[in-house]
Amino acid sequence: MIKTDILIIGAGPTGLFAVFEAGLLKLKCHLIDALPQPGGQCSELYPKKPIYDIPGFPEILADDLTKNLLEQCKQFEPGFTLGERADTLEKQEDGTFIVTTNKGTKHHAPIVAIAGGLGSFEPRKPLIHNLVSFEDKGVEYIIKEPEFYRDKKVVIAGGGDSALDWSIYLSNIASEVTLIHRRNEFRGALDSVDKVQELKDAGKINLITPAEVVGLVGHHELKAVVVSQSAHINKEYEVECDHFIPLFGLSPKLGPLGNWGLEIEKNAIKVNNALDYQTNIPGVFAIGDVNTYPGKLKLILCGFHEATLMCQAAYQIINPGKRYVLKYTTVSGVDGFDGSRKEAPKAVVKKIE
Amino acid sequence: MEQDVKVTIIDREGVSHTIEAPTDMAMNLMEIVRLYELAPEGTIGICGGMAMCASCQCYVLSDTELPEMQEDEDAMLAEAFYVKNNSRLGCQIQMTPEMEGLKVELAPES
Ligand SMILES: Cc1cc2nc3c(=O)[nH]c(=O)nc-3n(C[C@H](O)[C@H](O)[C@H](O)COP(=O)(O)OP(=O)(O)OC[C@H]3O[C@@H](n4cnc5c(N)ncnc54)[C@H](O)[C@@H]3O)c2cc1C
Ligand code: FES
């Protein structure tokens, strides 16, 4: 059982900044995210694109914002459960919560902060009739551990960056990589496209285009995929493989959060914005894109503000009756849980003669 | 102020809505759908309108002359599901006076 002060669901910009604000109050955080990496929409949807409305940054790449947020909260040593979806919330008799993921990992905390954005990122599954029955029996939608594919025959489907990048990466690990796409054209960074061309010419990637996987073959485990290729005449044939990885992007789904007994409006969680962004369940907060209140704006800077106020309220719940006075980081410095200390250099007092 | 245009949008439940779309706000069809809340929040416009998610896919039912499809829209549709010959990405259709009478049906959520 993972224990922490504030359990944050969602490691997007809002969740990451909450770690820092909580740390200033000496509260420890643990984050759960369905994605294998932190950053939320910034890392999944537009990592290489610039953002122009982060206060103090005239321009910053979404990836760099994520990197900076991780660096900023590093000394507060957040824990991460990545690649798992928070599925259930159980209130204990003492008012604390246990959150369990789809992989069975349990987390225990007095405060739960939902920073779930538009929902947990779930793979978009191609419409192949027997796809679901092969899940975890040879079909995977997210690559977590590339070594898993060592010396295996892998078929990847898709035409975007992740299909290209993983084909390149796995061509050195798997015994065979086949890339299948509906078009001859790919939609990705130029150097990835060139690299795949190179690997194809070198015989290290089998490219099948324009084609589509239309069925899966196997008994209990995947044995082959059925490919329909439409070059001049349509032909259908099987390609033997151990793994089939359809990479058609991820799309956010509110999913299990919708069944936690929270008040939902327009696919978002209603909160008390006059006070502290608490939900209808005391001790459970919702911050960032995932919440709604009159006048709500789904912007990163609004998530930062909400995270800050949430931490103050969490402090009061965890330390009832304890007085707190706001301190400026410039004046009091930042003491990390790792023993590090950041502080402003002292002014020198010296006589001028 | 430029004039509004009338466009008809059939939502994912099959209900038809004929609405006034402003042409002077640099809005695209995906944004019009969100403006009028014709699809639940979070099910359309995921990528913000960069032709990178296909959550705004729709089927064009009128013979309105549409802006030509750019490479990125074409490539995204090649990866989307439920694609038909008359599929377009709503975020790539700007609301201009030429869109008067446009009729589309939203593609299923995927
Ligand atoms: C193309 C694009 C451009 C944008 N440009 C700007 C801009 O210029 N300025 C701006 O301010 N904003 C911009 N935004 C919006 C901005 O990205 C969001 O406001 C911001 O990402 C919200 O942060 P968040 O941490 O609240 O949620 P998210 O970034 O959505 O992160 C939420 C995380 O929670 C996870 N999660 C949800 N539920 C669960 C669960 N049950 N279990 C496990 N994990 C879960 C998700 O997987 C996700 O990683 C843009 C968005 C897009 C798509
Ligand atoms: S909104 Fe993402 S493709 Fe149109």
Write down the ipTM of this complex: 0.84
Report the topology of domain A132-248: FAD/NAD(P)-binding domain (3.50.50)
Sign for the CA dihedral angle at A288, A328, A337, A54 comes to positive
Cα–Cα dist A167/A182, whole Å: 16
Helices (H), A171-284: 190-201
> What 3-state DSSP class applies to B14?
coil
Whole-number pLDDT of residue A353: 86
Q: Which ligand is nearest to the CA of A251?
A: 1
Q: For residue range A34-59, what is the model confidence (pLDDT) as tens digits?
A: 999 999 999 999 998 999 999 999 99
Q: For residue range B64-85, what is the model confidence (pLDDT) as tens digits?
A: 999 999 999 999 999 999 999 9
Which of B40, B75, B82 shows the shortest C-beta gap to A267?
A: B40
Q: How many CB pairs under 8 A join A and B?
A: 58
Rounded to an integer, the average pLDDT of B73-100 is: 94
**What residue spans define the domains of chain A?**
2-122+251-342, 132-248
Domain count, chain B: 1
Q: Does domain A2-122+251-342 have CATH number 3.50.50.60?
A: yes
Q: Indicate the pTM of the whole model.
A: 0.89
Task: State the DSSP code for A220.
Answer: S
Whole-number pLDDT of residue A323: 84
Average pLDDT, chain B: 93
Q: For residue range A262-279, what is the model confidence (pLDDT) as tens digits?
A: 999 988 999 988 889 999
Is the per-residue pLDDT at B1 higher than 60? Answer: no
**Which residue's C-alpha comes closest to atom 8 of ligand 1?**
A51
Which residue range forms the structural domain that includes residue B22? 4-106
The reply to whether A2-122+251-342 and A132-248 are identical in fold is yes
Cα–Cα dist B17/A117, whole Å: 29
Q: What is the CATH number of the domain that holds B49?
A: 3.10.20.30
User: Which residues in chain A show pLDDT less than 70?
Assistant: none
B78·A268 Cβ contact <8 A: no
Whole-number pLDDT of residue A300: 98
Cα–Cα dist A161/A44, whole Å: 11
CA nearest to A227, candidates A174, A182, A272: A182
Whole-number pLDDT of residue B2: 63
Cα–Cα dist A3/B15, whole Å: 49
E strand or H helix at A163: helix A161-170
Which of A119, A186, A251 shows the shortest C-beta gap to B53?
A: A251
Whole-number pLDDT of residue A190: 85
